[in-house]
Amino acid sequence: MFTLSPDGEAALRRFFHALNRLMLLLWRLGLGPSLSLWPTGTGRYLVLCHTGRKSGQRRTTPLNYAIVAGDVYLTAGFGAIADWYKNLKATPEVELWLPDGRWAGVAEELPDDDARRTLLLREVLRGSGFVAPLVGADPNRLSDSALAAVTQQYRLIRIRRTDPRSGPGGPGDLAWVWPLVAAGALLLVVARRLRAEG
């Protein structure tokens, strides 16, 4: 069975940390929903807004997810050491940026003995696209018992959406950049034409 060495896990965590910054920028530019256009290949993404357990400040984390019966499910693939997971345990009130909107919600961890755990976890892993197979947790090939063994340290979180959200500080808050980029490009084209004609 595939397992990562401690050094391999640390390197993978660093990679995802860097990738998360890019994904968060895309959400802020208004391009977040496009990240989920090919869920079986690249994954299905949301942004989880949570409260830092020590700082009390707002934190944002892009994550894979699944929606089952209206609830949003996430998994902490690195287990209980994930900072966002620790933050949810301290303050379960969260905000979600989903492709179909922005929501307030309340998070709760499903216990390991929940009868639906493997089924729900399999759905979240399907939403991770290429990542789950990459780390040996292929939801389309492993049996229930093999998947349970590989994902033993994973934590499964359910978020019940409570209210839609709007206003500043959400997805697309940097979308104002696009008109500036378009205006700059237009000015550049006009300047080149004027130079060519002069």
Residue 2 neighbours by CB under 8 Å, 6+ apart:
135, 136, 150
What pLDDT was estimated at residue 48? 98
- Ranking 51-55, 76-80, 106-110 by mean pLDDT, the lowest is 76-80
From the CB of residue 167, how many other CB atoms can be counted at a distance below 10 Å?
7
Mean pLDDT, the chain, whole residue set: 89
Q: For 127-151, write each residue's pLDDT tens digit.
A: 999 889 888 899 999 999 999 999 9
Alpha-carbon distance of 54 to 185, in angstroms, equals: 44
Q: For 84-94, write each residue's pLDDT tens digit.
A: 999 999 999 99
Q: For 16-69, write each residue's pLDDT tens digit.
A: 778 888 999 999 999 999 988 888 888 999 999 999 999 999 999 999 999 999
Sheet containing 93-98, strands listed edge to edge, beginning at the edge strand earlier in sequence: 58-64, 45-51, 93-98, 101-109, 155-164, 71-76, 66-68
Position 6 confidence tier, pLDDT thresholds 50, 70, 90: low
Instruction: Report the predicted TM-score, pTM, of the whole model to 2 decimal places.
Output: 0.84
What pLDDT was estimated at residue 184? 83
CA distances from 152 to 126, 134, 155, 171 (A): 17, 17, 8, 33
Position 3 confidence tier, pLDDT thresholds 50, 70, 90: low
Q: For 165-198, write each residue's pLDDT tens digit.
A: 998 889 988 888 888 888 888 888 888 888 888 6
What pLDDT was estimated at residue 1? 41
Domains of the chain: 6-172 (2.30.110.10)
